[in-house]
Chains A and B, each alone.
Chain A
């Protein structure tokens, strides 16, 4: 048993040594936050970079003094300690006050961006997002469209314990869903985020939006995708929500306003029709059959 496991580990190590060299260009450059495709996400990115560079500057100064001391004040080089140097009011005052000013310089732009983020007025479209164990439900409140979005089948098969399917062979492994969340670009979309069972968190890095989905509470969030940036944007649940927390991605399909309107109309009609027949319980979720001719793109 132990030997079997050990062999397994060695095999895994060997296999990954191969992938390590094979995929040199894919992962190594994943180093920083995305700038995203909304005004807010760019603001956040710039804020992040600004604070980062301030920290780097402080770090360079502080570490330089430390390294200078380590290099120059060595006993092995005959350094004699200046034991009278135990206190200096002026220096201590300076290094207490200067950081305060630096912090204010960081806090002002941060507060400005935060106020902008919290402004949920003048939204043009409201969609309710409900996290559940384990997937997302999207509810277009004004248009009677509702559907569920879960991990796609290929990822779902590959992610089974010892599935034998190489994740590298699955396109957008763990970041793909059956029904992407369709939204229009250039529209201030308001999300009403809630949870059905436990707390989840709806996160799409490209929008700079992360909001907890809490049962019994409705949180607000919004995004407005750049007009020239339709496309697919991926994210994941960001709050531990049980066994399959790692397997409830979010895929947003951002379409032009016209395409979105057309999709909404078609889907609303399809769902109404699906709901009409004798079995009302047969849900508004499109079945595999409807999926074929489908409003949802092959993502």
Chain B
């Protein structure tokens, strides 16, 4: 506590810029983290709005609301917004807030780069979203942008490519910052294997980002030149190969799915020990499992494209490498379970979201394993079974991970406890409706409903209605989230430095809210020792 007080008083005469300059010229990791999180939240609702419209059109057979082309724009934009606008910026926001505080560092290593990487995003998404208003409408070729179809996009085409370039640049800059911070700014005494798992998973995520974002940029640049400059990278008539795009895209795309989920693994690995009042089981195994998953993510990409007609040997290779991912993922799930074993559990909102993650992400893992089986994948590929699978890993996976993180650290950020009863309502409504929304989609896919269709045969009506009802319920429940945060900031009950009694880690050694510049003097060995009990 002594340290806490010194740090606090030390920072008292610290001044920060006021008004718009504080945000536009921001270099403070907490301010930038806040902006990232607010941006992600806005995009979550924009992308969610697109999802509501999709579920509205799919409520019953026949076209009631939208032209099929607009429907395709909705699915395409929903994916792009949720992936690049909601989930990834949310992770970067959490990284900005937490990594310096968890490592005893005063800020991110490269504050101006940090500012740039954030401020690229509003421009990228303004550009992308404004494509709804240009001739030909928003991109409608799927977020996977497969040629030749994507080359049929109208005036939105260059807007799509340039906004993807911007998002990629932003991600790369953010990732560089995370790596440099973690490698250079740890307080002395925090060795790599004493870092909190959120930091570990983000370090690995950052390497994935740096490895694959340039690949995506290359792929979309080739699309751009095919469209405007007469190249034929992906046009068979000119000697090109449309399937090559899919290989390049998924070489980016598969690590990308781990970019979306690995930080969630980190958060779950912090939340479960806190509310089990027991250190994480198998810390080192968790680190190695994360690294193995990251490595494997580079050699499984073609499981997204088993139906394109690959040689038998390639299909076997990608099937086996994909199945292997189940091993380190299993290790993680078993370790989380073992952490709860013989613990002393309580069920505050972050823990509830972590538990839902544990169950529902595992279900998504099972369907992932099924999808790895090539002959079965011939039946699953491009059906609602796939839609159900990846939404199970992304919504109760990545999104619930973010929710768990926000509910875990919100008292730290604001210095106030939120309304836990309301948060539990948010949890239960989200968990029930997310299953109503996505579980029936397994049935739809197995029964033969293709994905990305605006209308369907009448035998798919019943489960689509159930799914839509779940969708509307889930969407409405999310409105509680910003309200709850606003209420917390306005009128939450003040909390002490350690908002949760079982919490360990350097961030809990700082006051709540932490001073504008925290850890301006590095934490002492005693503080580190207290904080580093994983």
In contact, A159 and B278 (Cβ under 8 angstroms): no
What are the residues of chain B within 8 A of A110 when measuring CB–CB?
Answer: 319, 373-376
Q: Tell me how many residues of A have a C-beta within 8 Å of chain B.
A: 108
In contact, B375 and A211 (Cβ under 8 angstroms): no
In contact, A241 and B448 (Cβ under 8 angstroms): no
A87 (CB) vs chain B CBs: closest residue: B282
Chain B nearest CB, measured from A158 CB (Å): 7
The listed residue (B148, B242, B341, B376) touching A73 by CB distance below 8 A is B341
In contact, B307 and A246 (Cβ under 8 angstroms): no
Interface membership of B277, Cβ < 8 A: yes
Q: List CB contacts (< 8 Å) of A59-97 with chain B.
A: 59, 62-63, 65-66, 69-70, 73-76, 79-83, 85-88, 91-92, 95-96
Q: List CB contacts (< 8 Å) of A252-290 with chain B.
A: none
In contact, A161 and B281 (Cβ under 8 angstroms): no
Which segment of A121-129, A140-148, A198-206 sits at the interface?
Answer: A198-206
In contact, B278 and A81 (Cβ under 8 angstroms): yes
Chain A 231-250 near chain B by CB (<8 Å), digits 1 or 0: 00001111111111111000
In contact, A81 and B149 (Cβ under 8 angstroms): no
What are the residues of chain A within 8 A of B63 when measuring CB–CB?
Answer: 159-163
Interface membership of B443, Cβ < 8 A: yes
Chain A 214-235 near chain B by CB (<8 Å), digits 1 or 0: 1111011000000000000001
Interface membership of B193, Cβ < 8 A: no
A236 (CB) vs chain B CBs: closest residue: B450
Given contacts A75-B346, A198-B152, contact A239 B340 (CB under 8 A): no
Interface membership of B49, Cβ < 8 A: no
Q: In the assembly, what is the distance between CA of A205 and CA of B68, in Å?
A: 24
B64 (CB) vs chain A CBs: closest residue: A12
Q: In the assembly, what is the distance between CA of A15 and CA of B307, in Å?
A: 39
In contact, A30 and B447 (Cβ under 8 angstroms): yes
In contact, A209 and B378 (Cβ under 8 angstroms): yes
Interface membership of B24, Cβ < 8 A: no
A216 (CB) vs chain B CBs: closest residue: B236
Interface membership of A107, Cβ < 8 A: yes
In contact, A215 and B459 (Cβ under 8 angstroms): no
Interface membership of B41, Cβ < 8 A: no
Given contacts A12-B64, A163-B62, contact A62 B376 (CB under 8 A): no
Task: Pull 23 A–B residue pairs with CB atoms less than 8 Å apart, ordered by A.
Answer: A12-B59, A27-B459, A30-B462, A47-B375, A52-B370, A69-B337, A73-B345, A79-B342, A81-B342, A96-B327, A100-B327, A103-B327, A114-B315, A161-B65, A163-B62, A198-B152, A199-B242, A201-B382, A208-B379, A215-B148, A241-B149, A242-B141, A243-B72
Sample of 10 more A-B contacts, CB < 8 Å, known A74-B346, A163-B62, A243-B68? A51-B369, A70-B355, A81-B342, A92-B282, A173-B61, A198-B148, A199-B146, A215-B148, A238-B383, A240-B146
Q: Which residue numbers of B lie inside 8 Å of A, CB to CB? A: 56, 59-69, 72, 140-142, 146, 148-149, 152, 235-237, 241-243, 276-283, 285, 307-309, 312, 315-316, 319-320, 323-324, 326-327, 330-331, 333-334, 337-338, 340-346, 355, 358-359, 362-363, 366, 369-370, 373-376, 378-379, 381-383, 443-444, 446-448, 450, 452-463, 465
